[in-house]
Structure 1
Amino acid sequence: MKAILSKLRPSKRLVFILSAALSVSAASGGAAVYVGRDRLIARLAKPAASGLECTTLRTLKLDHKGQRWIRMHVKTDRASGPDRVRTALRVVGALANREKADLYQVVVLDAAGPKDRAAVRGAAIGAEVLFAPGPQSVKGMDEPFRASYNAGSSNAAGLFQGKMVSLKLDEVRVIMAKMDDRSLCLDPSVANAEGADGGEGEQTLESVETPASH
């Protein structure tokens, strides 16, 4: 029996070679795990091409001097400026695919921001997108899109403390071309209004803010 075991016992050189090979293999495997983890973290940290989930606060359908304007106020929670404007661009595109209007306006607020319509101005606006399919017919619109966002973060009151950043038309087109989602925001009023009669809350106003007034 001892003679058999002595024949099966590997030489020191073979043991050294096998140990070195296993060490290299383990190191390579560990590196692969870390590389995979880094790629995953980078992918998760990358801004979503279509923006973030949002909630509709209100939708106003306005008759302004014979034109139809649709204005929507939506909210996001702890979103960065680029994510806010991507969200607004996604929503304005979804609106344009569903309803015909001369001007679409989407304003993104913080989840903790003001709820009253009159308070949706200034530092309360985290991002804003205006879209006019025929810009020549809408006062203040010399291009189809006007998109901007506040580069700062929001405070406890949901107000943004940063500079406004405007996007160029080419930047808007690149962002929208990369979108893989064309959905609207979650609208709590839709579920509550199921089965109820009546219109969609369309309003006719004698005086409405023009795009140039923002």
Structure 2
Amino acid sequence: MKAILSKLRPSKRLVVILAAAFAVSAASGGAAVYVGRDRLVARLSEPSASGLECTALRTLKLDHRGQRWIRMHVKTDSAAGPERVRTALRVVGALAKKEKADLYQVVVLDTAGPEERAAARGGAIGAEVLFAPGPQSVKGMDEPFRASYNDGTANPGGMFHGKLVSLGLDEVRAIMAKMDDHSPCIDPAAADAEGAEAPAVSEASEHPAKTAEAHGGH
């Protein structure tokens, strides 16, 4: 029996080799765990292809020379310009699926930005998208989409002072093709006005023509 056990007993050299192999394996496993965790953190920190969570501030439905125009102001937390414009594109897509109109406009404001409708212009705008399903029927719209964002960061008052960056139609289509989320903004007033439509605003109180023609009249 002792002879058999002595034959089965590994040599010192084999023990050293096995110990080294197990040490390398353990180190590799630990490294894999860390690499996996780092990749997960990096993936979670990447900007969403569909933009940001947003809150609807107001929706205006305008009658303009027999056309129906819908304008929506939404707010997001501080974010980079590309994320804001992706948000606007997602929301305009959700809005177009929900309601039929000749022109849709989504304006993204910072969460610290102005609340008043008249103040939602100029430096208050973090991103903006205009969408006309039939651009030939909307004056000032040569293409279905007009998308832009301010490349600056919002100051404590929610105002942007960067440069305006406009996206081409191919860029817009590429962004929308990558979206995996098509949800609208959170609407705090939806529960109170469920099923009720916002009243149409007459041309006497609004001038939507400037929206498509001058890109900035809000």
Determine if the TM-score, normalized by the shorter chain, exceeds 0.5. Answer: yes
**Contact kept? 1:139, 1:210, Cα under 8 Å:** no
Which residue type is aligned with residue 78 of structure 1?
S
5+ residue gaps in structure 2? none
1:98 Cα deviation (Å)?
1.1
Tell me if 1:119 matches 2:119: yes
Q: Which runs of 5+ in 1 are unaligned?
A: none
Distance 2:56 2:92 in 1: 12
What is the aligned partner in structure 2 of residue 42 from structure 1? 42
Structure 2 counterparts to residues 43-62 of structure 1, below 5 A = 43-62=43-62
Calculate percent identity across the aligned residue pairs.
Answer: 73
Q: 1:15 matched to which residue of 2?
A: 15
Give the whole-Å Cα distance in 2 for the aligned partners of 1:151 and 1:106. Answer: 17
**Cα distance in 2, alignment partners of residues 29 and 104 from structure 1:** 53
2:190 corresponding residue in structure 1 = 190
Q: In structure 1, how many angstroms separate the alpha carbons of the residues matched to 2:211 and 2:64?
A: 9
2:213 corresponds in structure 1 to: 212
* TM-score (normalizing by structure 2): 0.89
Quick one: which amino acid aligns to residue 63 of structure 1?
A: D
In structure 2, what is the equivalent of residue 203 of structure 1?
Answer: 201
1:165 alignment partner AA: V
- Which segment drifts farther, 111-120 or 156-165? 156-165
Aligned match of 2:95: 95
- 102-111 or 159-168: which moved more? 159-168
Give the partner amino acid of 2:199.
Answer: G
Q: Which amino acid aligns with 2:96?
A: A
Runs of 4 or more consecutive aligned structure 1 residues displaced over 4 Å after TM superposition = 6-10
**Deviation (angstroms), 1:59:** 0.0
Deviations 1:53-74 (A, max 9, x none): 1000000000011111000000
The answer to which of 14-23 and 140-149 deviates more is: 14-23
Residue in structure 1 matched with residue 139 of structure 2 by the alignment: 139
Counterpart contact for 1:69–1:104, Cα < 8 Å = yes
CA drift at 1:144: 0.4
Paired with 1:85 and 1:169, the residues of 2 have a C-alpha distance of 13
Alignment of 1:165-180 (within 5 A): 165-180=165-180
Q: Specify the alignment match of 1:152 in structure 2.
A: 152
Q: How much does 1:38 deviate?
A: 2.7
Amino acid across the alignment from 2:113: G
Q: Distance in 2 between matches of 1:81 and 1:110?
A: 11
Matched residue pairs, number? 210
Aligned residues: CA RMSD: 1.9
